[in-house]
Amino acid sequence: MADISTTTGLTRTPKRRAVSLANRLSPYAFVGPAIIVLLIALIIPLGYMVYGSMLDWTASQSIGEADFIGFKNYTDLWNDPRFMKSVNVTLRFAFIVVVVELVVGVGLALLLDRDIKGMTLLRTMFILPMMIAPVVVGLMWRFMYHPTDGTFNRLLDRLGLPGVDWLGEHALMSVIIADIWQWTPFIFILALAALQSLPRSALEAARIDGASQWQQIIYIKLPLMMPVLIVTALLRLIDAFKVLEVILVLTDGGPGQETQILSHRINETMTEVRHLGEAAAMANYLLILLMALTLGMLAFNKWQEDRAARIRAAAEEDV
């Protein structure tokens, strides 16, 4: 009997090892196709762009015919006042639109997080602008900004006020207003979802302790919403750096370079100047800038998540 059991144990051991090995390898088998797609769709084009940025490459050449010049495109751009102006415009545009959209979107979410008759209709109306194509948004706002027939200047004329050169003297502000109008609903939707998913125990504990509505917002709701708001702001920040269609239709980067953000500058360098190596270097600068901002915001988000967890734990103890 001992020999039989020993023999049986010996015959089962390789099977168990095979099953264990299969269990360990199965996750990689499922992830493998995604990794292959990622390599083909992201890593290879990114490497191609990095290599192209180190070439004196124009649209009349194939990439194999271009001369290798190392980091010359990067150093030339760093010393180019026009490129630095585009970086400055991009940073101002992205910072202003994201901050204003966060303030307005979160404010609307706080106002509408209650049972009011017709609330469903109101929420639907608020999200309509983000459903419109960016080109259509640009055309709509270009018509409203028209110096003589536009909606805004006609309204000012009826009020006895002088017209405003919206797409000239105030071009950047006009583009910012159009972007805020279109994308504030995105912030509103996610902020409202975050509000409705807050733990009721934390809010109930605050009410029991006698906290006012403002105190609940400042010390309970906003800290608990912060992880969601940071991710939302990050998504909008990335999108704001890449906005192109609305600016192309409204101002085409003008007047001068007042509204020429980096994505417009890259597009102009590729299609008009036709210097592909320089455009690739600009795109890499934009990627580096976005990666730095993303890593910084994710680190801040981790800190906010830990803070929100402490608030929830304290609220549960109070209840």
The confidence score (pLDDT) of residue 172 equals: 93
Residue 106 tokens, joined: 């979160």
The pLDDT assigned to 10 comes to 46
* pTM score of the predicted model: 0.83
Q: Which residues of 146-176 are buried (b: 16+ CB within 10 A; e: fewer)?
A: beeebebbeeeeeeeeeebebbeeebbebbb
56 DSSP β-pair partners: 67
Residues in contact with 274: Cβ distance below 8 Å, sequence separation at least 6, in sequence order: 58, 59, 60
| The 3-state secondary structure of 9-72, one letter per residue | HHHHHHHHHHHHHHHHHHHHHHHHHHHHHHHHHHHHHHHHHHHHCCEECECCCCCCCCEECCCH
Nearest to 127 by CA among 78, 165, 182, 172: 182
Segment-wise mean pLDDT, segments of 10 residues, the chain, 319 residues: 47 63 76 83 86 90 87 93 93 94 92 76 82 91 91 92 90 94 92 85 78 83 86 90 90 89 91 90 92 86 76 64
At 7 the pLDDT is 46
Of 239, 228, 229, nearest to 261 (Cα)?
239
Burial letters 187-205, b for 16+ CB under 10 A, else e: bbbbbbebbeebbeebbeb
Q: From CA 242, how far away is CA 121, in angstroms rounded? A: 32
Q: Say which amino acid occupies 118.
A: G
What pLDDT does residue 249 have? 92
Give CA–CA dist 178/247, Å, rounded: 10
